[in-house]
Amino acid sequence: MSAHYPVMLNEVLENLAPVDGGVYVDGTFGAGGYSQAILDSADCVVVAIDRDASVMPRVEELKALYGDRFVFVSGCFGNALELVRNAGYEFIDGFVIDIGVSSMQIDQADRGFSFRFDGPLDMRMNKSAGATAADIVNTYEEEDLANVIYRYGEERLSRRIAKKIVERRVEEKFETTIDLADIVRSCVPRSPKDKIDPATRTFQALRIAVNDELGELERGLEGAEDLLRDGGRLVVVAFHSLEDGIVKAFTYERSGRISGGSRHMPVAPQDVPVPTFKLEKRKAIIPTDVETKENARSRSAKLRVAVRVKEGEDV
């Protein structure tokens, strides 16, 4: 099995439903699994977005295979509205996002995403810009560091970890993934019921902070809303509760499925947003047992889909 197996590929294609003549955006190109499958499923155009320069060899492969049907733009999918419009496409028929770090990035030790390999404490998806994970752990105040680890990693021992990091960096700055992982493990006991490494949540938190992943997701969803024509389909695959919570809240709010308040504090009609999406499926779609056995990365995946409608259309 390839390390870059595209997660929930069959479900993505079924819900994106590519058609001949359509234009589709792959907001997280990565190894190109979704882009290629979409191009193979219909005589359509795919506009792929990625901020990671290491994807360019794969980009060239798809350009050679599909010619003008494959368009690549370098950048963040949070800027999709501007990037896609600048590429010459006013509206699109589908937008797919596979959120988070790719297997390809994790497997590159020099990227610093994983504690499975000893590498520089980097974690930037765009290696030419922005602060690294090392910058964060070596410069943030203890309280700010604890807040990052708690908010983005959902780590209940965040304060203990931050204190240990700050104490250690006085003697020697953090430079490598293994160095940081060992410090985290020293103050987070491994639960016999918890199969994940004690450093996992801290590394997740730093990666999200370095790449502004949650802000990127929020901007990307808003861009998709503006880009999708009536009937256009938004398909998002998320891998942890923070991401999925943002996607769920966005699609529920934009489809008019928000709380009406209580009888004591009802929501005024003018405060209820006009629906711009409809939900064909209210619950998230999860991978099959077969896929989770073949591809461990898919185990935590959740897919949500929403269909663009005319503002004011009955949903």
Q: Identify the domain containing residue 67 by its residue range.
A: 9-104+213-308
* pLDDT confidence band for 300 (50 / 70 / 90): confident
Residues 152 and 138 in one domain: yes
Q: Kindly list the strands in the beta sheet with 23-26, ordered across the sheet, starting from the edge strand earlier in the chain.
A: 70-74, 45-50, 23-26, 92-98, 228-238, 302-308, 277-278
Residues 232 and 173 in one domain: no
d(CA 125, CA 102): 10
What does DSSP assign to residue 274? P
Residues 6 or more apart in contact with residue 14 via CB below 8 angstroms: none
At residue 268, the pLDDT reads: 54
* pLDDT confidence band for 264 (50 / 70 / 90): very low
- 54 domain-assigned: yes
List 277's β-bridge partners, or say none. Answer: 308
- 4 domain-assigned: no
Q: How many domains does the chain have?
A: 2
Residues 114 and 203 in one domain: yes
Strand-pair category, 228-238 with 302-308: antiparallel
Q: What CATH number is attached to the domain comprising 146?
A: 1.10.150.170
Task: Give 101's Cβ-side CA count (13 Å radius).
Answer: 24
Residues 127 and 171 in one domain: yes
Tell which residue, 111, 157, 104, 117, has the closest CA to residue 132. Answer: 111
* Lookup: tokens for 96: 């797919």
Residues 150 and 295 in one domain: no
The answer on pLDDT for 77 being more than 70 is: yes
Contact 254, 273 (CB under 8 A): yes
Can you give the pTM of this predicted structure? Answer: 0.86
At residue 298, the pLDDT reads: 83
- 1 domain-assigned: no
Contact 20, 96 (CB under 8 A): no
Residue with tokens 């010459």: 88
- 313 domain-assigned: no
pLDDT one-digit tens code per residue, 190-243: 877 667 888 889 999 999 999 899 999 999 999 999 999 999 999 999 998 999
Q: What CATH number is attached to the domain comprising 27?
A: 3.40.50.150
d(CA 263, CA 290): 47
* pLDDT confidence band for 290 (50 / 70 / 90): very high
